[in-house]
Structure 1
Amino acid sequence: MAEGLRIDRDPRRPSMMHLLADGVVQATIDLDDPSYLDAEYMQRIAYLVDAMAEPKRPLRVLHLGAGGLALARYAAATRPGSYQQAVETNEALVALVRAEAPLPRGVKVKIRHTDAREAVESAPEASYELIITDVYAEARVPAHVTSTEFLAAARRVLRPGGHYAVNLCDGGQMRFLKPALAAMGAVWPHVAVMAEPAVLRGRRFGNVVAVAADVELPVAALRRRCAGAAFPCRLLEGAELRDYIGGAVAATDATAIQSPPPPRSLRSF
């Protein structure tokens, strides 16, 4: 097992397992209920999974970053028969998840051990309906998965009407987040962001989920889910999102930076 990587079983709920890397919770999995998502950012990505197509219709999903395969489990439970592929560079992580938190019987997720960008650039055109990017290296989002060049490659891989979702994180002056969002706006005509107000204002470090498509996003459904969540969050889109991004220049391969490190006191995000 890689140093600092482990799965802990929840003593209060034996079916629930926590994937940790260097003491920070990366994912929570309920073996009895694959539709359960503990992380708020994953719940927000799930809002899109639920709203982007009619209920229970299978999807073709590419997960960039496998983690505990929590979102793959969710998609399989809510959209049975979905074709899913996950890309993960950390082979020890995948082996640990397979050994201690295996996928439910009948659920298949093809896993490739390669870099997320290499996977996207080599994928056939129009081969997926949904791409979920949740890529971290030492708790930071790598620069090369936020640039306009990477996002253009991702759009090429999506089918017409397909959707893109990404988990980003930032705090303070948002020097990482705003250029990353500007890059998404440069590639797709429709972009929306879901996050807690304190995070958007830079008062607290945290996750920001951004979604994009070449068709109208299901904004009304997403907004309802955000407002009704246990911890409500805001949804920004259209003119409001453009005002938020302000004069930030779209991140490119030449200018993109990695996200800042999380505060040392943060045990999950």
Structure 2
Amino acid sequence: MLNSLRFDADPNRPSLLHLIADEVIQATVDLDDPAYLDAEYMQRIAYLIDAVDAPGKPLRVLHLGAGALALARYVAATRPNSYQQAVETNEELVALVRAEAPLPRRVKVKIRHTDAREAVEAAPDDCYDLIITDVYAGARVPAHVTTVEFLREAARVLRPGGHYAVNLCDGGQMRFLKPALAAMGEVWEHRAVMAEPAILRGKRFGNVVAVGANVALPVAELRRRCAEATFPCRVVAGSELSDYVAGAAPAKDGTALQSPPPPASLRSF
């Protein structure tokens, strides 16, 4: 449960609003530029959004975790007429976004107040081109959205050729990340991660964007975009990723762990 929730305007850019949850920056949106993404992990998810189909082609997208609807705004700006649904348990957060950071006119995102897993389990087969999971309880990723059982439901809901993207976080011995990635390998033929090397080595806590599909992933394009970013990161896929995850038991219902809490000194991640 979030005890403190507000938007703070950036002092150097009044149209830029930072969503603050328990004194940690959870998301940033620019009311004048819906395609603007401040968080590096969101930029990396956007690289996948840009690459999964022809530029500008509308997609059917399910957002598990609404946040400030930053990625939904990006999809609407770059792929007009996309159908988007967002799932968010925190009604206070949705009310705050609607009041202080409303979506641009003509941008429609259906919002459901329910648990992410329940939403996926209730969704029909072959419904979405892309599922984006960015779910946090406080500052931790819940275990139940990382398991083989959950991911099989997500794969069922995706259309043939659909893609899955998830924002994960870990540090240290990677007791959360590696089982989550192993679970993805049980469900999808192709996997890749985008992250800074220090995070993957456990030297620093931070975000790891993982993607999965049963069609070949646009790894070359993801590598190009990640290399050209302001803060470059690595793309690990194929046998290299299999070697990285080797030995980790896939996360499953009943045994999966939630992500570790971030360091107290971290203002955003």
Query: What is the TM-score when the length of structure 1 is the normalising length?
Result: 0.99
Alignment-derived partner of residue 21 in structure 2: 21
Alignment-derived partner of residue 200 in structure 2: 200
Indicate whether 1:213 and 2:193 are aligned. Answer: no
Report the Cα offset of residue 10 of structure 1. Answer: 1.0
Report the Cα offset of residue 255 of structure 1. Answer: 1.3
The DSSP-based 3-state class of the residue aligned with 1:226 is helix
Alignment-derived partner of residue 46 in structure 1: 46
Report the Cα offset of residue 52 of structure 1. Answer: 0.3
String of CA shifts for 1:137-159, please: whole Å, max 9, x gaps.
Answer: 01000000000000000000000
The percentage of aligned residue pairs carrying the same residue is: 78
The DSSP-based 3-state class of the residue aligned with 1:239 is helix
Indicate whether 1:71 and 2:68 are aligned. Answer: no
Moved over 3 A (4+): none
Report the Cα offset of residue 37 of structure 1. Answer: 0.2
Indicate whether 1:97 and 2:97 are aligned. Answer: yes
Alignment-derived partner of residue 117 in structure 1: 117
Tell me how far apart the structure 2 counterparts of residues 172 and 230 of structure 1 sit (CA, whole Å).
25
Tell me how far apart the structure 2 counterparts of residues 147 and 11 of structure 1 sit (CA, whole Å).
41
Alignment-derived partner of residue 155 in structure 2: 155
Alignment-derived partner of residue 185 in structure 2: 185
One-letter amino acid matched to 1:105: R
Tell me how far apart the structure 2 counterparts of residues 191 and 240 of structure 1 sit (CA, whole Å).
11
String of CA shifts for 1:212-247, please: whole Å, max 9, x gaps.
Answer: 001000111001001111111000000000011121
String of CA shifts for 1:42-64, please: whole Å, max 9, x gaps.
Answer: 00000000000000000000000
Tell me how far apart the structure 2 counterparts of residues 233 and 8 of structure 1 sit (CA, whole Å).
28
Tell me how far apart the structure 2 counterparts of residues 3 and 261 of structure 1 sit (CA, whole Å).
16
Report the Cα offset of residue 69 of structure 1. Answer: 0.1
Tell me how far apart the structure 2 counterparts of residues 90 and 64 of structure 1 sit (CA, whole Å).
12
RMSD: 0.6
Tell me how far apart the structure 1 counterparts of residues 238 and 204 of structure 2 sit (CA, whole Å).
24
Tell me how far apart the structure 2 counterparts of residues 252 and 27 of structure 1 sit (CA, whole Å).
29
Indicate whether 1:236 and 2:236 are aligned. Answer: yes
Tell me how far apart the structure 2 counterparts of residues 230 and 158 of structure 1 sit (CA, whole Å).
32
Tell me how far apart the structure 2 counterparts of residues 172 and 3 of structure 1 sit (CA, whole Å).
27
String of CA shifts for 1:190-222, please: whole Å, max 9, x gaps.
Answer: 000000000000000000000000100011100
Report the Cα offset of residue 12 of structure 1. Answer: 1.0
Q: How does 1:156-171 map to 2 (within 5 A)?
A: 156-171=156-171
Tell me how far apart the structure 1 counterparts of residues 80 and 199 of structure 2 sit (CA, whole Å).
34
Query: What is the TM-score when the length of structure 2 is the normalising length?
Result: 0.99
Alignment-derived partner of residue 37 in structure 1: 37
Alignment-derived partner of residue 250 in structure 1: 250
Alignment-derived partner of residue 11 in structure 1: 11
The DSSP-based 3-state class of the residue aligned with 2:184 is helix
Tell me how far apart the structure 1 counterparts of residues 18 and 141 of structure 2 sit (CA, whole Å).
21
String of CA shifts for 1:59-104, please: whole Å, max 9, x gaps.
Answer: 0000000000000000000000000000000000000000000000
The DSSP-based 3-state class of the residue aligned with 2:132 is strand
One-letter amino acid matched to 1:13: R
One-letter amino acid matched to 1:52: V
One-letter amino acid matched to 2:73: R
Tell me how far apart the structure 1 counterparts of residues 180 and 80 of structure 2 sit (CA, whole Å).
33
Tell me how far apart the structure 1 counterparts of residues 54 and 227 of structure 2 sit (CA, whole Å).
21
String of CA shifts for 1:21-52, please: whole Å, max 9, x gaps.
Answer: 01000000000000000000000000000000
Tell me how far apart the structure 1 counterparts of residues 185 and 192 of structure 2 sit (CA, whole Å).
9
Tell me how far apart the structure 1 counterparts of residues 59 and 181 of structure 2 sit (CA, whole Å).
25
